[in-house]
Amino acid sequence: MLRYRGLLSTALLLLTAYAGRTQELFVYSEPASNMPARSTGLRLTNWMMDETEASKVNYHMIPELMWGVNKRLMIHAEGFISNRNGTLAAEGVGAYAKYRFLSHDDIYRHFRAAAFARVATNNADIHQQTIQVNGHNTGYQAGVVATQLLHKTALSVTAYYEQAFDNFGGKESKLPAGMADKAVNYILSAGRLMLPTKYKSYKQTNMNLMAELIGQSLPQAGLHSVDIAPSIQFIFMSQARLDIGYRQQLYSNMTRTAPNGLLIRVEYLLFSLGKK
């Protein structure tokens, strides 16, 4: 994992050093814009996180089917798979929806805002105070995201509320007595398009560098965590996407079993499915 950490720390330094250029796509958060209307997509996210109390890599896989219902609404169906209990096993399912309610478009820039929600069920054991409906907890989340695109520079702010319930497993899947079950989350995202320097064709490979600051607060317990997540992203033929990121804890006073690690995601978009 150390070599990945070094690579992505370098990416973060490059991101800070260059003024400039990006697309409105992020790795650890969704932008306010949606996928193209009447299109579907396939996404596979792989998390490889270092266990803090053992010499072990905690692997989580999230396959997704994505559907752009129209220009304002998109929906995801998600599955949660991990090796948490020693063998790779399915742990739950979820659904995500995002509705773009505001759009101010201009030449080379736009500002957009959207509301989103996710619901999920999970049967994994509850082993940390962090609440994460996307892969670990049964519950729901709801929030808003605002994204500003300035030519080739994108900035985004995400804020959402998260409610956890008991997971659907054995005794260890229940929320411990006194454990916080509500969270307030925020993500600050920034990215720039580094290549191509001059656009000539949709066949050109795009490379984006970005960094995201990810925070969670548990108001019931007075607990907080903040992570930094630099990443690099490649887009091929304007249709296929590869994300590589590393999430590193900056501060936390809550129990987290595997806060640091690598993310690798592949995505493929299918256009114009269904009648217009």
User: Which of the residue ranges 19-33, 115-129, 184-198 would you say has the lowest mean pLDDT?
Assistant: 19-33
CATH number at residue 18: 2.40.160.40
pLDDT digits (tens, 9 = 90+) for 163-185: 999 999 888 899 999 999 999 99
Tell me, yes or no, whether 122 lies in a domain: yes
**pLDDT number for residue 272:** 62
Q: Where are the alpha helices (DSSP H) in the chain?
A: 2-17
Question: What is the number of other CB atoms lying within 10 angstroms of the CB of residue 139?
Answer: 24
Q: Band of the pLDDT at 136, cuts 50, 70, 90? A: very high
| 78 alpha carbon, distance to own chain's centre | 13
Domain membership flag for residue 182: yes
Indicate if the pLDDT at residue 15 is higher than 50. Answer: no
Asked whether residue 192 is assigned to any structural domain, the reply reads: yes
pLDDT at site 143? 98
For the chain, the average pLDDT equals 90
Residue 181 domain-assigned? yes
- pLDDT tens-place string over residues 79-126: 999 998 788 999 999 999 999 999 998 887 899 999 999 999 999 999
> Radius of gyration (Cα) for the chain, nearest Å?
19
- Calculate the dihedral angle through the C-alpha atoms of 107, 74, 72, 208, rounding to the nearest 10 degrees: -10
User: How confident is residue 9, by pLDDT bands cut at 50, 70 and 90?
Assistant: very low
pTM, rounded to two decimals: 0.89
In the numeric block, which tokens belong to residue 99? 């509705």
Q: Per-residue pLDDT tens for 43-68?
A: 999 999 999 887 889 999 999 999 99
In a domain, 275, yes or no: no
Residue 87 falls within a domain, yes or no? yes
For residue 7, what pLDDT is reported? Answer: 44
Q: Distance between CA atoms of 137 and 103, rounded to whole angstroms?
A: 33
CA dihedral 23, 29, 30, 31 (to 10 degrees): -50
List the domain range (segments joined by +) for residue 184: 2-270
Res 12 pLDDT > 50: no
Q: Answer yes or no: are the C-beta atoms of 25 and 245 closer than 8 Å.
A: no
Residue 105 falls inside a structural domain: yes
How high is the pLDDT of residue 108? Answer: 78
- Burial of residue 241, with CB atoms counted within 10 A of its CB: 0-12 exposed, 13-18 middle, 19 or more buried: buried
Region at 171 (left for phi over 0; alpha for psi -120 to 50; beta for the rest) = alpha
- Quick one: average pLDDT of 117-136? 96
Contact between 79 and 91 under an 8 Å Cβ cutoff? The reply is no
3-state secondary structure of 172: helix
Contact, 230 vs 245, CB < 8 A? yes
Confidence of residue 274 (pLDDT cuts 50, 70, 90): low
Residue bearing the bigger pLDDT, 29 or 201: 29
> Above pLDDT 70, what percent of the chain?
90
Q: Which of 239, 249, 242 is nearest to 263 (CA)?
A: 242
Token output for 224: 């907080």
Number of domain units in the chain: 1
